[in-house]
Amino acid sequence: MRNWRSYGKEMAIGFVPVFIAFMIFVGVPALPLLLGAGLVGGLLFMAKSRSGMAFGGAARKGPSRPPAYLTFEDIGGQEQAKRELVEALDFLVQRERIAKLGIRPLKGILLTGPPGTGKTLLAKAAAKHTNSAFVAASGSEFVEMYVGVGAGRIRDIFRQARTLAAKQKRDSAIIFIDEIDAIGGKRDGSQNKEYDQTLNQLLTEMDGIQGDESVRVLIIAATNRKELLDNALTRPGRFDRHIQVDMPDRHGREHILRLHARNKPLSEEVSLDKVAEETFGFSGAQLESVMNEAAIYAMREESEVLRPAHLAQAIDKVMMGERMDRETTSEERERVALHELGHAIVAESVRPGSVAQVSLTPRGQALGYVRHHPRKDSYLYTKTYLEAQIQIALGGAVAEELHYGGRSTGSRGDFDQATNIVKTLIESGMTDLGIIHPEALTAEQWSKENGRILDALTDATRKLLSGQMDTFAKLLDILIREETLSGEELRAHLNAAAA
């Protein structure tokens, strides 16, 4: 939402000429009015230039500059992205070699990937690596309801980048636009002229970056939704390089954890390698939060060092939310315990040794949870693996059915997970439908195949749990009394029952 200062400025711009015209109409001499208006306008322009109010709210505070200490070595978990970015930055660093080989300078680099993976950090490190002036803005700062305002701000940020580079005596500048999809979305022929003019101005400015300019400007943009960008923006000659910034792997997670642990006292028992294994799927921002939350837990306990328990609590918090002090009835407590035991027993049956802990501690929106041992980083999944995941998700609801004859609303999230995995199965050609484009299926065909798969796996899960009723009763008593059940204790009871 735009602030009142922006509204007031634009209303004043429209009001002044109307007021002058009205005063002339009623007989007031025109010359004094025009001289006065010119004087006031000149003073305002000088004040605006001095304060650096070039565009949007961010520019009122002056251009964003990268911290002097931020380099590529300070960014963990993105080795491939860093290599691609450094190679793309060579045209700013090695100008003579680039010119000798006849390489056309790049105009734009597009960083894409999930939130929290370090796209902004990479842009700042790029400015440090190339010794360039740095100006940053968000795509939403160029979006206005009045036609032409956004386009003017595009011109301003390019002018500001060149001016800043000249002031700092540098021959290159980097403009970073975060969430560029706000202004670079696909044009659909609608009458939204403001969006079209803003995007057209950005395209024009990028085309105007010539290799013989005294200040060479490079645009680095970031987005989580590359598929929404207009083709004219992403074509070669504008954003020449598209660099994927993915979630870090295990080694990358360990690197990120070590970077954020540099200013934190760790006990000798802490293994960051183990923490990296337990944080599969975490982004760099989430890993930073894990270390920060662990330090907070240590402070609460007045501990001088971070211990493994603090890191375990921090992982649970980042994954599922803060521990809640909710009071539940004995019936709800028993139902939650049965639900979580259903998940745990199925998980141990289809994937032995996978459960680390079963807990009745409420966290976030969950009244209880099953914590699994970390799995190895993997990016390809088989049909058997995905079907096992569906059975684990259905285990809680099936356990409730066996004991109470019905389900509760606690299974809603489990069903969302199960149906998403079924969608993956269908789109990967792992069902009876064979290899088929998803858009070729009608809603009825989707529903029928989804129901067939889930019904079959629900029956298999029901059969699996029906043979564990006695073990259920023993484990339920322990879980309700102790609130937590370790994976070792769970496996000991299951093995004893199978013997």
Listed residue (134, 161, 212) closest to 54, CA to CA: 161
Distances (CA, A) of 403 to 338, 458, 460: 8, 15, 17
Distance CA 284, CA 252 (A): 9
Distances (CA, A) of 436 to 245, 386, 443: 30, 19, 14
The beta strands (E) that lie in 78-149 are given as 108-112, 133-138
For residue 174, the cross-strand partners are: 134, 218
Total residue count of the chain as it appears in this document: 499
Q: Could you give the 3-state DSSP secondary structure of residue 72?
A: helix
Q: Could you give the 3-state DSSP secondary structure of residue 173?
A: strand
How many CB atoms sit inside 10 A of residue 274's CB? 14
> Using the 8-state DSSP alphabet, how is residue 355 labeled?
E
Q: Output b/e per residue, 203-226; b: 16+ Cβ within 10 A.
A: bebbeebeeeeebbbbbbbbbeeb
Pick the catalytic residue from 179, 278, 340, 449: 340
CA 435 to chain centroid, in Å, comes to 31
Listed residue (136, 82, 133) closest to 111, CA to CA: 82
The answer to whether 254 is a known catalytic residue is: no
| Phi/psi at 308 (5° precision) | -55, -35
Q: Could you give the 3-state DSSP secondary structure of residue 467?
A: coil
The answer to whether 104 and 212 have CB atoms below 8 angstroms apart is: no
Q: Which helix (H) or strand (E) holds 378?
A: none
> Using the 8-state DSSP alphabet, how is residue 223 labeled?
E
Distance CA 187, CA 205 (A): 18
Rg (CA), the chain: 30
For the chain, the farthest-separated pair of C-alpha atoms sits apart, in whole angstroms, at 107
| Phi/psi at 172 (5° precision) | -150, 155
Enumerate the active-site residues: 340
